Amino acid sequence: MQTLPTIIDEINRRFDEKSNVRDRTLTRSRELIRHCANSIRATHRGDDTEARSLLEAANQIAAEMVKEARRYPDVYHAGYTQDALKELTEAHITRAIILQEEIPAPGTLDVEDAAYLNGLAEAAGELRRFALDALRRGDVLMAERLLGSMDDIYSLLVTVDFPSAITGGLRRTTDMVRGVLERTRGDVTTAVRQEAMKSALQHFEQRVGLNGE
């Protein structure tokens, strides 16, 4: 029969182990988020070598974090853990859409469904940034393609109709996507009209020039 001091000692030992895992998970989650943000920046710059290198490092950190955190469900399902996995999803999906590669599934990334869906939603915000950069370069076709991807993401997210406790507040994030999508649609539509007017003006000037000759 165990004495009360022995029981308390064992509880303290288990708490100590859990506390150490929690501390390591917090550290890894911050490091994971940093790697993912830097990977997205590298993708923005067109430096895919750097983007892939950072994602590979992020994958390794995530694997270590998840393996240990899963021993303690409350640590694994904590906000900081799932937020980091959401950022990992966002970085992977953003890169895949920009480069027109296959979009990884939750199982491939080893993330929970709620984190995956919220990461997918936030990827739409990054696609807006890419679309605006494309418009500044005069690449309307690229902007239209990204707008199409954003539209697809929103159309799929609105089909996920479950309580926030299950989806991790996805409805609120989906509302954000709708706003981002409509602003981007307006920007792209304006750019398309400007391109059409520019083309028409050039055609008119060519005709006038030919008639003048």
193 CB-contact burial (10 Å; exposed 0-12 / middle 13-18 / buried 19+): exposed
10-residue mean pLDDT profile of the chain (213 residues): values are 91 96 97 97 94 96 96 95 97 96 96 97 94 90 93 96 93 93 89 62 54 54
Residue 203: predicted pLDDT:
56
Examine domains 1-107 and 112-213 and report if their fold is the same.
yes
For residues 68 and 18, give the distance between their C-alpha atoms in angstroms, rounded to a whole number.
10
What fold characterizes domain 1-107?
Methane Monooxygenase Hydroxylase; Chain G, domain 1 (1.20.58)
Residue 204: predicted pLDDT:
43
Residue 186: predicted pLDDT:
87
Residue 196: predicted pLDDT:
53
Whether the CB-CB separation of 143 and 188 falls below 8 Å is answered with: yes
What CATH number does the domain located at 112-213 have?
1.20.58.2140
Residue 213: predicted pLDDT:
53
What residue segments make up the domains of the chain, in order of their start? 1-107, 112-213
Tens of pLDDT, residue by residue over 62-76, are 999 999 999 999 999
Tens of pLDDT, residue by residue over 165-175, are 999 999 999 99
For residues 38 and 176, give the distance between their C-alpha atoms in angstroms, rounded to a whole number.
23
For residues 180 and 36, give the distance between their C-alpha atoms in angstroms, rounded to a whole number.
21
For residues 120 and 150, give the distance between their C-alpha atoms in angstroms, rounded to a whole number.
10
Tell me the whole-structure pTM to 2 decimals: 0.88
Residue 70: predicted pLDDT:
95
In 3-state terms, the chain is what percent helix, strand and coil (to 5)?
85, 0, 15
Tens of pLDDT, residue by residue over 9-42, are 999 999 999 999 999 999 999 999 999 999 999 9
